[in-house]
Every structure is written in structure tokens, then in C-alpha cells.
Structure 1
Amino acid sequence: MMRLDVQPWGESLAELVDAARAAEAAGAGVAWAPELHRSAPVTAAAIAAGTARIGVGTGIALAFARSAMLTALTAADLDELSGGRFRLGLGTGVGRLNQDWHEVPCDRPVARLRDTVAIVRAVQAGGDPIAHTGVRSISVRGWRRPYPPARATTPIYLAAVGPGLVRLAGEIADGWLSHELCPPRHLRTRIWPALAVGIDRQGRDRGRFDVVAAACCSVAADPGVARRRAANVVGFYASVRSYADMFAADGFGEVSAAASRALRAGRPADSLGDLVPGAMVDAYAIAGTPAQCAARIAEYAPLADAVKLSPPSYGLEAEEVRDAQKSLLELVGSMP
């Protein structure tokens, strides 16, 4: 049976943890913590401390903005804090943000991410020395972590869009995470062909690899309200140059170009929903009545092990996000 995961929202960390508890009570499988306006590990720590059963993951933590050793130690600490419930989700981020926001290189992202995972696993495995040479390297002697781990290794999930990174996820990770706009047709035609190459390259069991799709899920009695709430999410991604080819291939290249121009002209990235037609919202988000949303979620079942659902939040007042999240969690609790 496909798992329903949640990316909880809160105006404060306390409210976010309350939402994670509500997701746990609704039967959600994992609460994922994103990294944009908050630190993903800190958010994951708050969720881990405030819940008892639900899985906890970073969805995602930036892989290059931290040293791989610090990432490994953070993952081990979070797994201990959560009692073995933690999943380390890593992503490259886009080049401009790595360089301009975090002052770190992002060249050769496939090799750099491969090295990151190798170093994380080497640190968690222990031993002396710890050494790895590549685009990212480590050389540690005379150090050993003195605390018993919750588990021997932390499951690692890689977020990936392009075929090279998707193949890498299938080859070396325990699971794959999508970005928020990943409809079933993309899973079928773009993701699974590349994942299968990576999984089969190592002779791995596909049944032991966790495929986590993601979707903005906007639930409302009025489908028009649901689409309006989700439009800014689609508009945000439409303005990001990294996704331009995806939108163009789906026939929405002109909308993507318009969103990019509006962003360069000074429009806030979370306020571009008015540029997004309803058909584009329906193409990339789950938006509608509870019955309509449940039917859309069910379309992922043959292709994914889980769907990470997030309420619409971009450009909305806090009270409206709360209402949207309440409706989403009610939907999760009502589904088998």
C-alpha cells in the first residue's frame, strides 16, 4: 500500500511541530522538513522531539552547503534523537544559490553528490582512518565517535530531477525524492527510466528502494479556491530557470518565460500565481475537492512507494495556509 507522507507547515516551529503531531495522528508515514526558510536539520530535530511514531526526514538538506562530515554527524544525532526514525534527504540545490547564497561550488554535481554520500557513510561506519578522495575528499585520523548509534547506518534519499542525478540515486541511495511538481506522467516517462538504470547497474532489488513523489495538495470544497491557493507554488517553480525545459516540454514554456521575466523585474517569487492558468495548476499540483484530490493521489500508486503532500503556502496569509493544511490532514486521515 502506498504511504502518505506530509511536509508540515507552521508559522512558528511550535506550530509546525503541532502539525507534525496531527500528521502522525492522521496516519502519515513520514514528516519531511524542507530547507529554504528554515534549517532542515533543526526543523527535523523539533519534529523528532515532538513526535513518537512518525518517520522524520530532511526533504531536503542542502548537500554541498555543509561539510560531508558534519552532515554525517547531524544525521547520526537526528537518528538517535528520533529513536531510529530519521531519513537523510539530500539535494544539490541550484548552482546560483550554492555560489551566491552559500559560497560553495556546485560544479560536477553528480560526482560531488556521489562523494558526499560516500563520506557520510564512511563517517557513520567508523574506523580509523576515515579517508575518501574525489571531488569532495576527507582525511581523518585519530578520531572515533564514542556514542552508540541508533542504527548502523542512516537511510539516505537523494532528490534529483535530471537523468544523471536520478541514475545516481538509483545506484547509491536508499530512496529518491522528487520536487513538489512531479505528476505521475513524469514519474513514468522521465524518472523511472533513469532510476531503473541506476538500480539495475548495481543489481539492486527494486523492492528495497523507496520512491517518494511529492505534490502540493490543495484541498477545498470549492475547486476554484483550491486551484487559486496552489497557483503560486506552480508560479514559483515556473520562474526557476532550472525547470524551464520541463515546462517547455509540457507546453508551458511561455508561462515559464513570463514568470522568469516577472521575477527579474522585481516580483516576489511567491506571488506569480496570476500568471499560471488553471490547466497548468492541474498539470502539476493536486487541487480540488477531497474526492478529487483523493483520486489524483491514487494515480501515484503504481509508480511510487509514497507521496509527500504539502499544503499550499506561497503568497498566502497564515490563516489561509492553516485552513489548507487542516483540510489536507483531514484528507490524509480519511484515506486507507
Structure 2
Amino acid sequence: MRLDVQPWGATLAELVDAARAAEAAGAGVAWTPELHRSAPVVAAAIAAGTQTIGVGTGIALAFARSAMLTALTALDLDELSGGRFRLGLGTGVARLNQDWHGADFEKPVPRLRDTVAIIRAVEAGGDPIAHEGVRSIAVRGWRRPYPAARPQIPIYLAAVGPAMLRLTAAIADGWISHELCPPDDLRTRIRPVLTGSRKLDIVASACCSVDADPAIARRRAANVVGFYASVRSYADMFGAAGFGPVTTAANAALRAGRPADDLGDLIPDEMVDAYTIAGTPAHCAARITEYDGLADAIKLSPPSYGLPADQVREAQKSLLELVGSRP
């Protein structure tokens, strides 16, 4: 199983240095999220600053940009990286699209299907370029005059619900999981939908907090779980696992004015253990093996929510040492 990373940096320069360290440690792909930074811009910085590691958006928001602009960005990134780029797309939730980006969120499944179809049409070139659906495109008199690095760029979709998982299985080259993806959920709910006649690159994700003191490792990871525990969209998932009272407390704390990334004190150790990989190097290495046979890769990210930069740096250093120690 491939070990991928989601590098962190307080500056872009530091982030690129972290990607280089991941490359030296033997990581397969450096994925760039889209929350506090632009995923394509960070991917471009990593592509320019590395030589061999794969580079992917993990994930870029599919509806905050036009499908054609997303296609052109992907083509440029693939050229810049020498054919190392992977386009990871996700819908995001309704509030993020509508309130943060002024983007419509109607019919997300057919809209994402159309987005991928338009990207493929632009990538294929030709004149005219046309697609009709929930989202359409009609381009005449335009042709990209530059050679593509590859005939086709791998597209990964972030899917959580059953309809989006079925869409991923039907049209994507890969799947990239939510940050909280326990092995049992992958085994019982996700793989049965994704595993079919088409071969997908299945990428699980996990916050991985490594420290010689397991208590420190857990507490660093707790804010990640607390962030999601405060969001109503995840209440059913946590409730089914027996953590309903925790999500109620976290949501109440958020409404009372507590920062969403500083709720770790409300999260018990057993909940951290259920949704992250946290502990000593030996413990974390053993937890990673639980994904063998279930995923083609696991994307590991250091804990960063609500932590001072020096603690994130220390956590990332320990994580990359773990990646480098894997046979």
C-alpha cells in the first residue's frame, strides 16, 4: 500500500520543503487541500519544487470554479509537474458553496458528473467543445495550442454518500476519502460500492499523530475530531458509533462561540482512536497496516487544527520519519 501525505507549512516555502521531505521519505503523492489556501496554487508550488513525487489536489472544490477553468488548470499543472498531477475534486457542503463562494449547490451528483464530462471534453480538445446537462458548455472557434503532458489526467472524486460513491465508481479514476475514514467503514460501506469492473485507485485518509508519548499524540489529534463533531452533517455518523452526546456538546460549544478547531478537550480518547491514527511510532505503524488490502494508498496528514505552529512542525517531522521508516 502506498503512503501519501498532505504536507503542512506556515508559509508556502515551508510547505514545499515539507513536500520535498516527503519525497525523500518515499511518499507516493503529496495532496493539497482547499480550505485556507488554494489547492491548485499549492499544487503548482509543490510541482515546481519537487522531482518525482505525485502531486494532487485533495481536494479542489468542483463548483467554485467553472469546469473549463478547472480543466485548463489541471492541464497546466500536469505540464508543470511533468505528468505527475492528479485532479482531486469534491462538491463540498451546501453552506460552503453558497455562503462562502456564492456558488449554486443544486443537484450535486449530476452536476459533478457534468463537471467531469466537461473536463474530459476540454482535455480531449477539438472544435467545437460541447456538453449538455445540468451544467453545459458550448465552445466554438477555440483550440488549446499547447501539447498536453499526457492524453488524460487521472480524476479522483471525494465521495461520502452512496449516490456519490456510485458516481465515483462509474466515471472516476480514483476515490479519495474524507479525513475521517476508519478501516471498518472502508470495508463494510465503501469498498462494496467502489469495487467493480473498473479499477480505481482507492485513497483512504487519516490524521496521523505520532509521538513517543501516546497521550500527547492523542491530544494533538483531538481537535481534528472535535472540528467534525461540531458539524451537524456528521452527527448521524458519530451517533451510530455511540458518540452522540459528544457531538451534542461540541455543537453547543460552537454555538456558544468556541472556535471550531479548538474543541479537542470535549473529545474522549476512544473517539480519537476511532477516527484518527494517534500514538507511538510502533502503534501508528500497526494502525496503518489495518488499511492493507482495503486501500491502494493512505493519505496521512499531521494534526494541525488549533495547534501552534511549532507543535505542527514537530508532529509533521515525526510523521515523515514514520513514512520513511516503512519498508
TM-score range normalised by the length of the shorter chain:
over 0.9
TM-score for both structures, normalised by structure 1: 0.96
Which residue does 2:147 correspond to in 1? 148
Match of 2:277 among 279, 286, 289: 286
How far 1:193 sits from its partner (Å)?
A: 2.0
Mapped partners of 1:249, 1:194: distance in 2 = 20
Deviation >3 Å, runs of 4+: none
Mapped partners of 1:158, 1:257: distance in 2 = 30
Which residue does 1:297 correspond to in 2? 288
How far 1:311 sits from its partner (Å)?
A: 0.2
Deviations 1:263-286 (A, max 9, x none): 122111100101100000000000
Match of 2:101, SS state, is coil
CA-based RMSD of the aligned residues comes to 0.7
Mapped partners of 2:10, 2:64: distance in 1 = 25
Which residue does 2:191 correspond to in 1? 192
Map 1:256-271 → 2, pairs under 5 A: 256-271=247-262
How far 1:239 sits from its partner (Å)?
A: 1.3
Deviations 1:23-73 (A, max 9, x none): 000000000000000000000000000000000000000000000000000
Alignment pair present for 1:328 and 2:319: yes
TM-score for both structures, normalised by structure 2: 0.99
Mapped partners of 2:174, 2:102: distance in 1 = 28
Mapped partners of 2:11, 2:186: distance in 1 = 33
Amino acid at match of 2:296: D
How far 1:258 sits from its partner (Å)?
A: 1.6
- Where does structure 2 lack aligned partners over 5 or more consecutive residues? none
Match of 1:244, SS state, is helix
How far 1:255 sits from its partner (Å)?
A: 1.0
- Where does structure 1 lack aligned partners over 5 or more consecutive residues? none
Mapped partners of 1:131, 1:36: distance in 2 = 31
Match of 1:235, SS state, is helix
Which residue does 1:105 correspond to in 2? 104
Match of 1:101, SS state, is helix
Length, aligned pairs only: 327
Amino acid at match of 1:319: D
Which residue does 1:220 correspond to in 2? 211
Q: Mean Cα displacement is larger for which, 19-28 or 242-251? A: 242-251
Match of 1:245 among 230, 236, 245: 236
Mapped partners of 1:253, 1:130: distance in 2 = 49
How far 1:194 sits from its partner (Å)?
A: 2.2
Deviations 1:221-256 (A, max 9, x none): 000000000000010111122212111111112211
Match of 1:269, SS state, is coil
Match of 1:270, SS state, is coil
